[in-house]
Amino acid sequence: MSSEPAHAPPSNPPPAASVDLAALSKAEVRDSEGDKSELGKLWTNQKAVLIFLSALHEAALAAAARARTSQAAAHLKGLRLRGAEVYLIVPSESVYLEPFEEELRPGCVMYADPERRAFRAAGMRRVSETGEQAKGLLGGLRSLLGTNGTQIMKDAELGGVVALLPPGRVAFARAAADLSAPLPLSEVEEALKSAGWSHLAVKTEEPE
């Protein structure tokens, strides 16, 4: 069994989205019961990876959320071996969390951010805020949704990922370019591996 030594912070950290760490720490999210929690408590004593999904209450956008939830589940072991816990954040009401969790069983905690405060603090762009034209999945949906497609475009967060170190440092942050693009979770693992915080030695291999 080998363990990962602590490293100095990398001299060239990954390119970051514009994260307002103070606002992100104070942002309140809700669990499936509707109870509120401040996000900053998640990375007080551990590394935390926040994966921002698209809305669950619009069937078209939920397709992208399902794809990224499955991707996150596939990367859970690797991220946890780097000492991190993973949390999924969605810009939907908390009532949508339980059926989504029952369907996909992501293996990690989900939080609702209906006011989108955590999304804004993390620098997760909305299509209407950036003026970008729709790409990928969202672009294809416009022709299928007719007049409703305009409203979905206006309200759709593209999502992304932020990795944080205790007691409060951003190791990685990137907003997605479009809804169809997979999130760079392998890059997140590498960023966590080279990050300077290590509360305990992290097991990276199973004993023979």
Confidence at residue 105, expressed as pLDDT on a 0 to 100 scale = 96
Q: Per residue in 67-102, pLDDT tens?
A: 999 999 999 999 999 999 999 999 999 999 999 999
Say whether pLDDT at 200 is over 90: no
Kindly state whether residue 8 falls inside one of the protein's structural domains: no
* DSSP symbol at 122: T
Kindly state whether residue 85 falls inside one of the protein's structural domains: yes
Kindly state whether residue 82 falls inside one of the protein's structural domains: yes
Which residue type, as a one-letter code, is found at position 16? A
In angstroms, the CA 35 to CA 148 distance is 32
Average pLDDT for the chain: 80
Kindly state whether residue 155 falls inside one of the protein's structural domains: yes
Percent of the chain, pLDDT > 70?
70
Kindly state whether residue 65 falls inside one of the protein's structural domains: yes
Kindly state whether residue 69 falls inside one of the protein's structural domains: yes
Say whether pLDDT at 12 is over 50: no
Q: Per residue in 136-181, pLDDT tens?
A: 455 545 433 444 444 444 445 789 999 999 999 999 999 988 888 8
176 Rama class: left (phi>0) / alpha (psi -120 to 50) / beta: beta
Task: Name the pairing type of β-strands 202-203 and 36-38.
Answer: unpaired
Kindly state whether residue 200 falls inside one of the protein's structural domains: no
What residue numbers bound the domain in which 97 lies?
14-177
Kindly state whether residue 161 falls inside one of the protein's structural domains: yes
Q: Is the pTM of this model over 0.85?
A: no
Q: Domain total for the chain?
A: 1
CATH of the domain at 64: 3.40.30.10
